[in-house]
A and B are shown apart, each in its own frame.
Chain A
Amino acid sequence: MAVVEAYVSILALSDMHLVRGDKDVARGLNLKLHAGSITVVLGPNGAGKSSLLLAMAGMLTPASGVIELKGRPLDDYSRREIAGLIAWQGELPPAEFSLTVSERLHLAGSDVCGTDMERACRMVDIAHVCGRPLGRLSAGERQRVELAAVLLRECPILLLDEPTAHLDLRHQAAWLDTMRQQAAAGKTVVAVLHDVQQAACVADEAVFIYGDGKAVHGKAADMLTQTKLEELFGSPILALEQEGLILPDYRSVNETA
């Protein structure tokens, strides 16, 4: 059983301790990620969600703790090897150099062919802007270009830092669906999300990073509960029996307060 466990855990973190500036973030996290699963990272602003993703991508060295990628310490990998296994999506890249959408997507991989690109563009609905320079797109369109680039990387692990940022509701929903499809195809997906409803829609597992930097991991069903989320965000949350989780109607909350 232990052998099977080791085999299926593609990315494992033990006793994580990250430091960003002089602040502890993501402290005490133990985590094993499995192929075909979606892990959602939740927490208040500045708790260290992005730092955790950077550490997983080998771009931030932990103060202590071990990260293992396919059973080997992450430190043993070269940047190029990591890039073959992990696709990272973060803030929108600058658009100063007037790259067109298709030029930017060609940068995602050295062997990106036309049909791959068409498919990725269709998946995030940007086929109609392919010839335009990045600087002429809206933030939502640029975000979708980045998501297409992540898909084109064809890596087994996807680390997504707020993938639904800037997206309208339809594209948010479409992307959550795409994430599930990617997981179904055997990818390991980790996503920082701010919307607990979105998290409840897609997550198999959840990582909470609290404001004081403490981090815990568990099954989404156990973690995404009213009490635990209220404790995480320090904000009232209503649980609806049938519909999952939703933010309260702030008008009635303010009246009673």
Chain B
Amino acid sequence: MARFRLWSVLLAAMALAIYFGLGVGESWINPFSPSSDLDHIVLWELRWPRVLVALAVGGLLALAGAWFQVLLGNPLAEPYVLGVAGSAACGAIASLALLPGSPMAMPIGAFAGAVVGISVIMAFAHLGASRLLLAGVVLAAFWSACLALMLALMPGHRLGMALSWMMGDLSTSFISIYGLSAVWCAALVAGLALSRSLDVLMLGEMHARAMGVEVGQLRMKVLLLASLVTAVAVTAAGTIGFVGLVVPHAMRLVFGGLHRVLLPASAVGGGTLLVLADAGSRVVIAPAELPVGVITAMIGVPVFLWLLLKRT
């Protein structure tokens, strides 16, 4: 049973990633036998929540990537392609500028910004995939211009905070791990419920309609679902690139394209990649940390290029 073996490998990889995610840091701690009370606290109160956040956020990004890819009919689409990350970043930075003192200002601003971005893009949802993609690209450019404007006007001491959020930061999730887990489960269930329609949509809109799918409704549902999931991920951990692009694509090559397998595999694979990337971000220039987005790009880009080469 080839699929069973593939799943075993994927789950083993996840377990290994969690092991490293717990162990790696300023000092190595063996997750099975922490040597002191301090290690015990570091392990279970600092690293364990962080690993869980990485698992959930990575999974959400990969799910959103898989949805955007089928929605736009392009296996190279990613969760931020329609400008949702840009609008979320604008919201976050705007609230950082307006309400610098309050710790919840940034996540609330990010989510509000993401909702604004989603609302704007939804107005274009009825257009075909290629025009929706163009609208997204232009909107993303608009949001990044707004962002550049705000950063230019921002006093220097807040700039670092803004930049670290924008490049992805798993050390302080703004959404509780319970909330993230709930969203992860709900997103996966909703995605699985739509999986057959999503499969048919891979054949293009005409074929999907001919096979009984209400394509207009499906596109609305998928766009909303994918955007909300992206908004939650961005709010929790900032913008982390490449997970949403590379993971569904790689899982498609390994597990095949049918969504009832692809979606769970992406949800697990995305989490695994992000846990590893986060562990890496803590050791490369230890004791300092790199933004995790840097690591995902460093891992993601070569893997993706290798997959492309292998495929042709």
Contact = CB atoms under 8 A, between A and B. Distances in A.
Nearest to B204: A93
Given A93-B203, A93-B204, A110-B196, A103 B258 contact: yes
Interface string A69-99: 0000000001111111011101101101111
Contact of A104 (B74, B203, B206, B311): B203
Interface size class of A (residues with CB under 8 A): 20 to 34
B256 A100 contact: yes
Interface string B286-312: 000000000000000000000000010
Contacts of A33: none
Interface string A151-163: 0010000000000
18 contacts: A59-B209, A79-B209, A79-B214, A81-B212, A82-B212, A83-B212, A90-B206, A90-B210, A94-B202, A96-B73, A97-B75, A98-B75, A98-B311, A99-B257, A106-B258, A107-B202, A110-B196, A153-B211
Contacts, number: 65
Contacts of B75: 96-98
Contacts of A16: none
Nearest to A146: B207
A59 B196 contact: no
A84 B212 contact: yes
A210 B48 CA distance: 72
A157 B253 CA distance: 36
B70 interface: yes
A79 B202 contact: no
A192 interface: no
B10 interface: no
The 8 A-B pairs of least Cβ separation, nearest first, read: A83-B212, A93-B203, A88-B210, A80-B212, A97-B202, A99-B257, A97-B257, A93-B204
B210 A83 contact: yes
A99 B201 CA distance: 12
B265 interface: no
Contact of A107 (B70, B73, B199, B253): B199
Interface residues of B, number: 25
Given A96-B73, A96-B74, A98-B253, A107 B211 contact: yes
B252 interface: yes
- Which of B199, B203, B252, B253 has its CB near the most chain A CB atoms (within 10 A)? B203
Contacts of B252: 97-98
A105 to B, nearest CB: 11
A78 B211 CA distance: 11
Given A79-B214, A104-B203, A107-B199, A98 B257 contact: yes
B64 interface: no
Contact of B207 (A81, A86, A93, A98): A93
Contacts of A38: none
A57 interface: yes
Contact of A97 (B70, B196, B207): B70
Interface of B: 69-70, 73-75, 196, 199-200, 202-204, 206-207, 209-214, 252-253, 256-258, 311
Contacts of A82: 212
A87 B213 CA distance: 13
Contacts of A80: 212
Nearest to A104: B203
Contacts of B213: 79
A94 B206 contact: no
A94 B70 CA distance: 12
B207 to A, nearest CB: 5
Contacts of B257: 97-99, 103
A99 B196 CA distance: 14
A130 B58 CA distance: 34
A106 B202 CA distance: 13
B193 to A, nearest CB: 14
B206 to A, nearest CB: 6
A81 B211 CA distance: 10
A239 B258 CA distance: 51
Nearest to B76: A96
A82 B213 CA distance: 10
Interface string A42-81: 0000000000000001010000000000000000001111
Contact of B212 (A79, A94, A103): A79
A94 B130 CA distance: 13
A107 B200 contact: yes
Contacts of A110: 196
B292 to A, nearest CB: 29
B258 A59 contact: no
A10 B253 CA distance: 43
B203 A107 contact: yes
Interface in A89-144: 90-91, 93-94, 96-100, 103-104, 106-108, 110
B210 A59 contact: yes
- Which of B70, B75, B204, B210 has its CB near the most chain A CB atoms (within 10 A)? B210
Nearest to B213: A79
